[in-house]
Amino acid sequence: MAENVEISIRGRKMVISAEGLTSFEISSIVKKIEEEMKRIEEENDVVDTFKQLMLVSIKYAMESYKKDKLEKTKNLANENKLEEVIEKMEEALNEEKLF
């Protein structure tokens, strides 16, 4: 069952579902979001908090996409290696049967 947690970002309180995460982990995530919003505000002179949140969301979505893509690539590579090993083992077994 999902645990609802109240958070505050830039003074705006909201309740979110925090299934599978501890309150410490949620606090850490909120802190990262606020730090990223502050960085965007300072480096890009973006004072609109909605725009800041949108930019943070896009940044984290792209990072998540890249990680997923890398994981899928690694899984595919591992599957290919496993298939090669199985083929070599089958070949070795077939060669033993001949002798």
Domain boundaries, the chain: 4-73
**pLDDT of 98:** 56
Task: List Cβ neighbours of 37 (8 Å cut-off, separation of 6 or more).
Answer: 9, 10, 49, 52, 53, 56
**pLDDT of 91:** 87
Backbone dihedral angles phi then psi of residue 95, each to the nearest 5 degrees = -65, -35
**pLDDT of 99:** 55
**pLDDT of 18:** 86
Dist CA 4 CA 76 (whole Å): 36
Return averaged pLDDT per consecutive 10 residues of the chain, 99 residues in all: 85 92 92 96 94 96 96 93 91 75
This prediction's pTM: 0.69
**pLDDT of 26:** 93
